[in-house]
Structure 1
Amino acid sequence: MIEGGCRCGAVRYTIALDALPPVYACHCHICQRVSGSAFSVQALVGEELLTVTGPIIVREIVTEDRTSSQRFCGECLARVYNTNSRRPSIAVVRAGTIDRSEELSCMAHIFTAYRQGWVEIPDTVPSWPEVPPLAEFVAALNR
């Protein structure tokens, strides 16, 4: 069982997995703005594997082709995970909220066309300048 939670500890979660999930970095401008950093790092997990306790606030962001439901801690407002109508049943967990996050391995980088110039991506890690082909992306995460 993998555990994690928000900054203040009011929200805690478990992911029904035996091993830490693979994570990826997204360098798009939206992730830069939302994270306040050069990129965001996240894990894709089956929503049915995620059990969350504590005060969650949901904020829906609607665009022309999808609805993203962002989940934040109701106390410290840390973003914990989101779901997206284009990827039903998948939770996008913010990697920094996973306990033992220092043990995670970044398996791929996406939207690298927007990366900060000082960010270097190792040649051994798959990356795509925009949205990756789904099959390639999933293969990279599971290698």
Structure 2
Amino acid sequence: MPLSGHCLCKAVTYKVDVDAPLLTGYDHCDDCQRQSGSTYSLVAVVPKDKLTVDGPIKKWKGTGSSGNAVWRWFCGECGSPIAHDPDAAPEIIALKGGSLDTEIKKNLKPDTEIWTVGKLPFCQEHLAKPFKHMPE
């Protein structure tokens, strides 16, 4: 069963032709905190070539720790975050977990934390696979 999701207003929808994400975890980087308005962003990393998106996507270009661009995707209508797309890893894209369809996100099993160097001190959750930056 493919993964699927949408933005808040449903103007943007997507499908990923995979049964499960490659990685599910918390991204504690400052950019994800700001984009999510929370202590971290729940991400579901999937192969980019398996993703199909319909609707008015806008993209904002930031710079990752590699010096390469990280493209933040969001709905052009309601502004909901959809994904971040790092040029340093062109084969993958990190979908924002909250944008997945309800029954899919209820069954996610996050086990990885990235950018724990930016983890806020009051965030008490600890997942099995923490990385100070990105996994090697």
Structure-1-length-normalised TM-score: 0.82
- Structure 1 CA distance for aligned equivalents of residues 23 and 63 of structure 2: 27
Q: Identify the residue that residue 130 of structure 2 maps to in structure 1.
A: 127
Gaps of 5+ in 2: none
**CA displacement, residues 40-90 of structure 1 (integer Å, 9 cap, x when unaligned):** 111111111100111111222246711112211111011101211101121
Q: Identify the residue that residue 108 of structure 1 maps to in structure 2.
A: 112
Select 1:85's aligned residue among 81, 84, 87. 87
Q: Identify the residue that residue 137 of structure 1 maps to in structure 2.
A: none
CA gap of 1:62–1:38, structure 2 versus 1, over 3 A, is: closer
- Structure 1 CA distance for aligned equivalents of residues 5 and 61 of structure 2: 23
Q: Identify the residue that residue 70 of structure 1 maps to in structure 2.
A: 72
Offset of 1:119 from its aligned partner? Answer: 1.8
CA gap of 1:83–1:40, structure 2 versus 1, over 3 A, is: same
Question: Percent identical across equivalent pairs?
Answer: 29
Is the CA contact 2:7–2:80 (under 8 Å) kept in the aligned structure 1? yes
Q: Identify the residue that residue 28 of structure 2 maps to in structure 1.
A: 27
Q: Identify the residue that residue 52 of structure 2 maps to in structure 1.
A: 51
Indicate the structure (1 or 2) with the bigger Cα radius of gyration. 1
Number of aligned pairs? 132
- Structure 2 CA distance for aligned equivalents of residues 113 and 65 of structure 1: 18
Gaps of 5+ in 1: 135-143
- Structure 2 CA distance for aligned equivalents of residues 20 and 87 of structure 1: 16
Structure-2-length-normalised TM-score: 0.86
Query: Counterpart amino acid of 1:105?
Result: K
Is the CA contact 1:8–1:76 (under 8 Å) kept in the aligned structure 2? yes
Q: Identify the residue that residue 38 of structure 1 maps to in structure 2.
A: 39
Q: Identify the residue that residue 2 of structure 1 maps to in structure 2.
A: 3
Offset of 1:132 from its aligned partner? Answer: 4.2
RMSD between aligned residues: 1.9
Is the CA contact 1:10–1:55 (under 8 Å) kept in the aligned structure 2? yes
Q: Residue 106 of structure 1: SS of its match in structure 2? A: coil
Offset of 1:9 from its aligned partner? Answer: 0.5
Is the CA contact 1:26–1:39 (under 8 Å) kept in the aligned structure 2? yes
Is the CA contact 2:116–2:133 (under 8 Å) kept in the aligned structure 1? no
